[in-house]
Structure 1
Amino acid sequence: MGRRTPNRQLAALLAESGWNAGELARAVNALGTKYGLRLRYDRTAVAHWLEGSRPRPPVPGLVAQVFGRRLGRVVHVGETGLARTAATGNPAEAVLGNADPVDRMTALCGADADPARRLALNREMFAATGIRLPTWPSTAGPGTVVRPGGTAGPLPPGTDPRLADVVTIFAELAEKYGGAHARSALGAYIADDVVPRLRTSPHTKTRDPEMLTGSACLMHLLGMMLADAGLPNLGYHCYRSALELAHRADNRNLYAITLRTMAVQALRLDDLTHARQWSHSALELAAPTATSPVRCYLLAGRAVVRAADGEREGALADLLAAERCHEAEADEGAGPLDLFTRYPPAAFRYQRGEVLLWLGDRTQAAVALQDSLAARPPTHHVSRLLTHAQLARTLLDLGQLEAALDQCRQAAAHYPHTSSRRTTTALTALRRSLAPYRRHPQAREVRDHLTRLTRPAPPDSGGTP
Structure 2
Amino acid sequence: MGRRQPNRSLAALLTEADWTAGELARAVNALGVRYGLRLRYDRTAIAHWLDGSRPRPPVPGLVAQAFGRRIGRVVHVGETGLTPVASPAHETVLTTGDFIQRLSALCRADADPASRLALNRQMFTATDVRLPDWPAPVTPATGPGGATGGSGRPVDDPRLTDVVVIFTDLTEKYGGAHARSALGAYLADDVRYRLLAASHQDAQDFSLLGGSARLTHLLGWMAVDAGLPNFGYHCYWSALEQAHRAGERNVFPLTLRAMSMLALRLDDVPHARQWARSALEGAGPTVPPAVLARLYAGRATVRAVDGERRAALDDLLAAERHLEAADQGDADPFRRYPLAAFLHRRGEVLLALGDRAEAVSAFRESLAARPPNHRIARVLTHTHLSRTLLALGELETALDECRQALGHYEFTASHRATTALTAVGRALAPYRRHAGARELRARITEATGPGGAR
TM-score by length of 1: 0.90
Q: For residues 204 and 341 of structure 1, what CA distance do their matches in structure 2 show?
A: 31
The correspondence for 1:412, drawn from 385, 406, 416, is: 406
Change (3 A) 1:205 1:253: farther
Secondary structure, in 3 states, of the residue corresponding to 1:252? coil
Change (3 A) 1:202 1:61: closer
- Matched letter for residue 53 of structure 1: S
Moved more, 180-189 or 24-33: 24-33
Q: For residues 150 and 432 of structure 2, what CA distance do their matches in structure 1 show?
A: 56
Aligned to 1:119: 117
Contact persistence 1:95–1:108 (CA under 8 A)? no
Moved more, 301-310 or 45-54: 45-54
Q: Does 1:274 align with 2:296?
A: no
Q: For residues 390 and 45 of structure 2, what CA distance do their matches in structure 1 show?
A: 38
Q: For residues 209 and 7 of structure 1, what CA distance do their matches in structure 2 show?
A: 47
Shift of the alpha carbon at 1:330? 5.0
Change (3 A) 1:342 1:385: same
1:395-454 CA distances to partner (integer Å, 9 max, x unpaired)? 111111111111111111222211111111111111111111111121111112112222
Shift of the alpha carbon at 1:203? 9.4
User: What does 1:191-206 correspond to in 2, within 5 Å?
Assistant: 191-201=188-198
Q: Does 1:234 align with 2:231?
A: yes
Q: Does 1:307 align with 2:304?
A: yes
Aligned to 1:34: 34
- Matched letter for residue 28 of structure 1: V
Report the count of equivalent residues: 445
Q: Does 1:217 align with 2:214?
A: yes
Contact persistence 2:290–2:327 (CA under 8 A)? no
Contact persistence 1:34–1:269 (CA under 8 A)? yes
The correspondence for 1:103, drawn from 96, 101, 104, is: 101
Of the two structures, which has the highest relative contact order with CA contacts closer than 8 Å and spacing of 6 or more?
1
Aligned to 2:127: 129
The correspondence for 2:359, drawn from 340, 365, 378, is: 365
1:332-358 CA distances to partner (integer Å, 9 max, x unpaired)? 4xx8643x1210011000000011011
Aligned to 2:429: 435
Aligned to 1:388: 382
Q: For residues 365 and 410 of structure 2, what CA distance do their matches in structure 1 show?
A: 24
Contact persistence 1:152–1:159 (CA under 8 A)? no
Q: For residues 5 and 451 of structure 2, what CA distance do their matches in structure 1 show?
A: 41
Aligned to 1:145: none
RMSD: 2.4
Task: Name the % identity.
Answer: 64
Aligned to 2:72: 72
Q: Does 1:341 align with 2:335?
A: yes
Change (3 A) 1:261 1:43: same
Change (3 A) 1:221 1:307: same
1:367-400 CA distances to partner (integer Å, 9 max, x unpaired)? 0001111111221111110111111111111111
Shift of the alpha carbon at 1:123? 2.1
Q: For residues 203 and 298 of structure 1, what CA distance do their matches in structure 2 show?
A: 37
Change (3 A) 1:205 1:399: farther
Change (3 A) 1:364 1:111: same
- Matched letter for residue 170 of structure 1: F
Q: For residues 265 and 65 of structure 1, what CA distance do their matches in structure 2 show?
A: 13
Q: For residues 288 and 331 of structure 2, what CA distance do their matches in structure 1 show?
A: 18
Q: For residues 29 and 320 of structure 2, what CA distance do their matches in structure 1 show?
A: 38
- Matched letter for residue 43 of structure 1: R
Aligned to 2:141: none
Change (3 A) 1:156 1:304: closer
Contact persistence 2:137–2:152 (CA under 8 A)? no
Secondary structure, in 3 states, of the residue corresponding to 2:250? helix
1:119-177 CA distances to partner (integer Å, 9 max, x unpaired)? 2221222223174321348x979xxxxxxxx9977456764311111111111111111
- Structure 2: stretches of 5+ with no match in the other structure: 139-146
Contact persistence 1:155–1:209 (CA under 8 A)? no
- Matched letter for residue 79 of structure 1: E
TM-score by length of 2: 0.92
Shift of the alpha carbon at 1:73? 1.5
Q: For residues 152 and 42 of structure 1, what CA distance do their matches in structure 2 show?
A: 59
User: What does 1:321-336 correspond to in 2, within 5 Å?
Assistant: 321-332=318-329
Secondary structure, in 3 states, of the residue corresponding to 1:133? coil
Q: Does 1:356 align with 2:324?
A: no
Aligned to 2:9: 9
Moved more, 117-126 or 269-278: 117-126
- Structure 1: stretches of 5+ with no match in the other structure: 142-149, 461-465
Secondary structure, in 3 states, of the residue corresponding to 1:403? helix
- Matched letter for residue 81 of structure 1: G
Shift of the alpha carbon at 1:294? 1.0
The correspondence for 1:421, drawn from 404, 415, 424, is: 415
